[in-house]
Amino acid sequence: MGDLFSGIGEILAAFAANDSWLISEALEHEAAWVVGLAILMVGGFLIMGLYRLSPFVERHLEGYVMVISYLTIGGIIFFGVIQRFVPGMLGMDFSNTPNWLRPWPWTTTLPPFLFLVMTWVGCSYNVKLRTHLAFSEFRTNLPRIGQIVMLTVDALLWIGFSWVVIVTGSRVVANAANNFQIVPGTNDLMQWWFILAVPISFIFLVARVLENWFEDLRNYRSGEEIISQAVIGGDT
């Protein structure tokens, strides 16, 4: 127990010092699982509170992030195609091609990092819409107590998965920062800025999980329908 508290102290001290090497070393301690769970649950409840205070944020946050990421990826790829083929079609060689038409080395390396952001924020959004694997056809035939039990198991599994991701993902982020890993083809665009989206997205996901579970519990207690069929591409 003393070693556990010592590890928690090391992690907190490392973050207070804002030193990537110390953070990377401290997160290797088993105490990272305790700190990770605390951050996950406290962060989830805080974000859920933010959603209740601001319906606009609750409704549009993930959608805006996904759309902006998607459009940025599309724009980079589209302009990269122009840079690669238009000069040749116009008969230009490298010496007389304007700088803005010369291929940028990061046009093939930055989009995957933006896709990482879009994917995991989208995961949180789909949990909100309940369009993940929910086996609704089977569960609607269960008695009400069975339905709420299944939904509670879902919530616990999501929290468990998120717990693993936030701890292991934070270690990857710390290692990337400690090794000064940059996005290939750029000079100072750090990889950890994008990888950080993974643990953060799962904190937002847990907020959606808690939001859904409290709604399910209210429906169970009030006698209203607990499980309804989700529609992919729909909204709530």
Tens digit of pLDDT for each residue in 149-207? 989 999 999 999 999 999 999 999 999 999 999 999 888 899 999 999 999 999 999 99
CB 212, CB 113: distance < 8 Å: no
Count of structural domains within the chain: 1
CB 213, CB 60: distance < 8 Å: no
Helices (H), 130-223: 136-139, 144-178, 191-195, 197-222
Domain, as residue range, for 74:
2-222
What's the mean pLDDT in 6-22? Answer: 90
Q: Which of 34, 41, 37, 33 is nearest to 207 (CA)?
A: 41
Q: Which of 3, 208, 28, 211 is nearest to 125 (CA)?
A: 208
CA distances from 150 to 85, 124, 153, 163 (A): 54, 20, 5, 20
E strands along the chain, which residues? none
Looking at the domain assignment, is residue 25 inside a domain?
yes
pLDDT at residue 224, as a whole number:
86
Looking at the domain assignment, is residue 74 inside a domain?
yes
Residue found by looking up tokens 């993930």 in the block: 62
Identify the band that residue 37 occupies on the pLDDT scale cut at 50, 70 and 90: very high
Q: What is the pTM of this model?
A: 0.88
Identify the band that residue 215 occupies on the pLDDT scale cut at 50, 70 and 90: very high
Looking at the domain assignment, is residue 21 inside a domain?
yes
